[in-house]
Chain A
Amino acid sequence: MGNIFDILGPVMVGPSSSHTAGAARIGLISRQLFGRQPKKATVYLHGSFAATGKGHGTDRALIAGLLGMKPDDMRIPDSFEIAKEEGMDFTIESKDIKGAHPNTAQITMEAEGVKPMKIQAYSIGGGRIRVCKLDGIDVNFSGESNTLIIRNVDEPGRIMDVAAALSLAEINIATMQVFRDKRGGFAVMVVETDQIVPKYAIDALEARKGIIQVKFLNVNGAIE
């Protein structure tokens, strides 16, 4: 359980903290991870999201999040029209995802000049979410803390690179998780930090051999 503002709060656009606020947050975190507004988004809704999503505005909230709106943004009900104005194409369909949480969304984001990104996340109530898959690799993070997401080659020394870079910038690691698709394949590190990771540390890390990409989710919502 969280703090008293999980009891009184969040301030949000209705009607449901799990199906509306949580959905907006999934969209917003996805956009932040992608690092830009997608040109095209393909969204699949599973379980309760698919069954009652329309009536709860889950579809509109997800698109609103992808457009950069927070869960209390009054423009959420009009997100489809705003997406059209801003030239973001999207499709939303129902899909049965085996073993997934009832409030799950799967989003593929595309934009010119960058690799597409595929995210699976679910809403746990109270407007809070978990990201559980990133480009096919199992992960687990909420985006409620500063979060560094590193995609790397699964080989010795990469964890040390990350630890060293953060140590040099005097960043304290709160939690750290490592995931991989297969031995020697692609890996993902999810590192929650107490401080904001500065851009120079991210750039330095990204320049290292075996590190493919580094993304930073700032708890204040800014994209690094």
Chain B
Amino acid sequence: MSYQSMEEAQERCEREGIEFWKAVQLEDADERGVTEEDSWKEMKRMWQAMLDGLDAYEPDRMSRSGLVGKEGGLMDAYRQAGDTLCGDFMAKVMANALKMGCNNACMKRIVAAPTAGACGVMPAVLVTYYREYEVPEEKMIEAMYVAAGVGQIIANRAYLAGASGGCQAEIGSGSGMAAAAICHVKGGSTEQLGHACAMALKNLMGLVCDPVGGLVEVPCVKRNVGGAVNALAAADMALAGIISQIPVDQVIDAMKEVGDKMDVSLRETGIGGVAGSPKGMEVMERLNM
């Protein structure tokens, strides 16, 4: 039985004197009836797929609809010119988020994290940091467990699908997972990674799922950038000692309440939000959908 709350997981960590990632790994080994070593191997496979996925990006490839594909390359070129507002590291994060989002739209290989539409957030945060600061790979795989554990708690208390709870459940959850994960990499405590997750989720609460033409392209690809940048900001706040006044479990519950109240036109139906804008409708007509 996986953790139903961050509180429950934190209690186990305190009781057994283990880190959060270890609590998640032990639970996985128990749940699937595998050894800790096998569990680690599988997580390493997911990590490797994220690294490979980013490297497979082709700036000239466009999605079948022609709406997205080159954004990662444009961001790379802009960063290399050396005059960005957000600085070099953040520009790399943004480029990587775009690359994975474009890869997904162009039918290339990605890791759903937690969903295909939000597949850019985690690699943008974790892989960029890993390559920039040459962290030991083990630390990154621990961080993957942190993200998976947080994601599972969100899945248990709320949801991870745009059709169920809007984009807050996809990019929002991905951002919360990435915030907790990078907080762990930077040496944050179990409490701090909970705060990082809570702050990331709160910042994206209410985000609707409004894909133009129902495709995972507009605005999905760029929302991965929003999720990644937000995750890093939330983690930095937590590491600075800033706390979420609302505990993470209660933030997740609030996210569910907001999602339940969200109109169906704003939950992956391609009807409301930017999908329903005149331009969105025009694109849909053009695609003959």
CB-based contact A126/B2 at 8 Å: no
**Given A14-B106, A15-B116, A15-B215: A8 touches B155 (CB 8 Å cut-off):** no
Say how far B119's CB is from chain A's closest CB, in angstroms. 7
B132 on the A face (CB < 8 A): no
CB-based contact A55/B112 at 8 Å: no
Which chain A residue shows the least CB distance to B221?
A15
B73 on the A face (CB < 8 A): no
Cβ contacts under 8 Å, A207 to chain B = none
A68 on the B face (CB < 8 A): no
**Residues 44-92 of A at the B interface (beta carbon under 8 Å):** 48, 51-52, 54-57, 60, 72, 74, 76-77
Which chain B residue shows the least CB distance to A78?
B107
CB-based contact B152/A11 at 8 Å: no
Cβ contacts under 8 Å, A168 to chain B = none
B205 on the A face (CB < 8 A): no
Say how far A81's CB is from chain B's closest CB, in angstroms. 14
**Given A11-B45, A14-B105: A4 touches B24 (CB 8 Å cut-off):** yes
A3 on the B face (CB < 8 A): yes
A198 on the B face (CB < 8 A): no
Instruction: Give the number of chain B interface residues (Cβ < 8 Å).
Output: 52
**Given A8-B144, A52-B270: A14 touches B64 (CB 8 Å cut-off):** no
**Residues 55-112 of B at the A interface (beta carbon under 8 Å):** 63-65, 103-112
Say how far B193's CB is from chain A's closest CB, in angstroms. 16
CB-based contact A7/B114 at 8 Å: yes
Q: How far is the CA of A69 from the CA of B117 in the complex (A)?
A: 22
Q: How far is the CA of A72 from the CA of B215 in the complex (A)?
A: 19
CB-based contact A56/B215 at 8 Å: yes
**Given A7-B114, A74-B109: A16 touches B216 (CB 8 Å cut-off):** yes
Say how far B149's CB is from chain A's closest CB, in angstroms. 7
CB-based contact A126/B112 at 8 Å: yes
Say how far B170's CB is from chain A's closest CB, in angstroms. 11
**Residues 1-22 of A at the B interface (beta carbon under 8 Å):** 1, 3-17, 20-21
A125 on the B face (CB < 8 A): yes
Q: How far is the CA of A162 from the CA of B181 in the complex (A)?
A: 49
CB-based contact A17/B115 at 8 Å: yes
Which chain A residue shows the least CB distance to B112?
A17
A38 on the B face (CB < 8 A): no
**Given A52-B215, A55-B214: A16 touches B151 (CB 8 Å cut-off):** no
**Given A1-B2, A5-B46, A52-B214: A10 touches B289 (CB 8 Å cut-off):** no
Cβ contacts under 8 Å, B127 to chain A = none
A143 on the B face (CB < 8 A): no
In-complex Cβ contact of A8 among B43, B216, B287 (8 A): B43
CB-based contact A20/B149 at 8 Å: no
Cβ contacts under 8 Å, B28 to chain A = 3-4
Which chain A residue shows the least CB distance to B56?
A74
CB-based contact B216/A13 at 8 Å: no
Which chain B residue shows the least CB distance to A15?
B216
Which chain A residue shows the least CB distance to B211?
A52
B156 on the A face (CB < 8 A): yes
Which chain B residue shows the least CB distance to A4?
B148
**Given A4-B148, A55-B213, A57-B107: A12 touches B116 (CB 8 Å cut-off):** yes
CB-based contact A20/B107 at 8 Å: yes
Cβ contacts under 8 Å, B163 to chain A = 125
B264 on the A face (CB < 8 A): no
The residue in B63, B64, B287 that gathers the most chain A C-beta atoms within 10 A of its C-beta is B64
Footprint of A on B, CB under 8 Å?
2, 24, 27-28, 31-32, 42-43, 45-46, 49, 63-65, 103-117, 119, 122, 144-145, 147-149, 151-152, 155-156, 160-161, 163, 177, 213-217, 270, 287, 289
Q: What are 7 A-to-B residue pairs whose CB atoms are below 8 Å?
A: A5-B46, A7-B160, A9-B111, A10-B112, A52-B215, A55-B65, A55-B287
Known: A4-B2, A4-B24, A126-B115. 4 other contacts (CB 8 A): A3-B2, A4-B151, A6-B155, A14-B110
